[in-house]
């Protein structure tokens, strides 16, 4: 486990490397981020960003998505994989946002988790990016880097990792920290052959050479 000083060094290093901690999914409305995140399950953000302009162009409102034919939604999102279940979740979620939440994306974990296709990862992303609340988004990059850096020890369960990182990372930095982990995982610390020799945070990392 890293010391408080080492954790602070990791946070500061990531902030220096990635000053703009932004979600790579493109969206204009809160519900678009909610739906884009659902589409991103087992799919790259790059692929989702190629799909959503046509999807939201064809269905520009929650009402139009809620009333859409599943087959048409499936065809528009087919290339992101698992399109049957994803289309069903998008149409059902749009309907529930309209009937239960007045067309607004809710701002609590409990309410978000009650929506079709929404898990803790998606809910945390919405809470952090849309509402500016403390959030820990545990995706594959977060799981890998949190273990590799020594922020957690041999944990694979996303809920346990989220709980531990909430204890370690200052709440006001938590959402941006997770975005920076994604950026760092892509640029410097991939699953295979991490570039430790070129990593600014290696002095504070458990994986250091």
CATH at 176: 1.10.1670.10
Same domain (yes/no): 122, 141: no
| Contact status, residue 123 vs residue 109, Cβ threshold 8 Å | yes
Q: Let me know if residue 125 belongs to a domain.
A: yes
Q: Let me know if residue 85 belongs to a domain.
A: yes
Instruction: List per-residue pLDDT tens for the chain, 209 residues long.
Output: 899 999 999 999 999 999 999 899 999 999 999 999 999 999 999 999 999 999 999 999 999 999 999 999 999 999 999 999 999 999 999 999 999 999 999 999 999 999 999 999 999 999 999 999 999 999 999 999 999 999 999 999 999 999 999 999 999 999 999 999 999 999 999 999 999 998 999 999 988 64
Same domain (yes/no): 183, 122: no
| Contact status, residue 42 vs residue 130, Cβ threshold 8 Å | no
d(CA 52, CA 40): 11
Question: What domain count does the chain have?
Answer: 2
Residues 79-106 pLDDT 10s: 999 999 999 999 999 999 999 999 999 9
Catalytic residue positions, numbered: 121, 139
From 103, 129, 155, give the residue that closes a domain: 129
Nearest of 111, 110, 118 to residue 35 by alpha carbon: 118
**How crowded is residue 37: how many other Cβ atoms within 10 Å of its Cβ?**
26
Q: Find all residues with CB under 8 Å of 65, minimum gap 6, and list them.
A: 35, 59, 73, 90, 91, 94
For residue 148, the enclosing domain spans 4-22+136-204
From 129, 150, 177, give the residue that closes a domain: 129
Structure tokens at 122: 């998606």
């Amino acid at each position: 486990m890293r010391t408080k000083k080492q954790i602070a060094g990791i946070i500061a290093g990531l902030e220096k490397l990635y000053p703009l901690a932004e979600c790579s999914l493109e969206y204009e409305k809160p519900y678009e981020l909610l739906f884009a995140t659902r589409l991103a399950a087992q799919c790259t953000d790059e692929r989702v960003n190629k799909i959503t302009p046509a999807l939201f162009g064809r269905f520009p409102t929650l009402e139009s998505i809620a009333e859409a034919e599943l087959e048409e939604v499936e065809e528009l999102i087919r290339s992101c994989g698992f399109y049957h279940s994803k289309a069903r979740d998008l149409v059902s979620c749009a309907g529930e946002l309209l009937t239960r939440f007045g067309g607004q994306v809710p701002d609590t974990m409990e309410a978000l988790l009650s929506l079709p296709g929404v898990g803790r990862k998606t809910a945390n992303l919405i809470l952090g990016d849309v509402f500016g609340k403390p959030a820990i988004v545990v995706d594959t990059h977060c799981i890998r880097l949190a273990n590799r850096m020594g922020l957690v020890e041999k944990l694979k369960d996303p809920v346990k990792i989220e709980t531990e990182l909430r204890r370690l990372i200052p709440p006001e930095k938590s959402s941006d920290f997770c975005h920076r982990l994604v950026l760092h995982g892509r640029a410097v610390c991939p699953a295979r052959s991490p570039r430790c020799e070129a990593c600014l945070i290696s002095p504070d990392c458990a994986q250091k050479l």
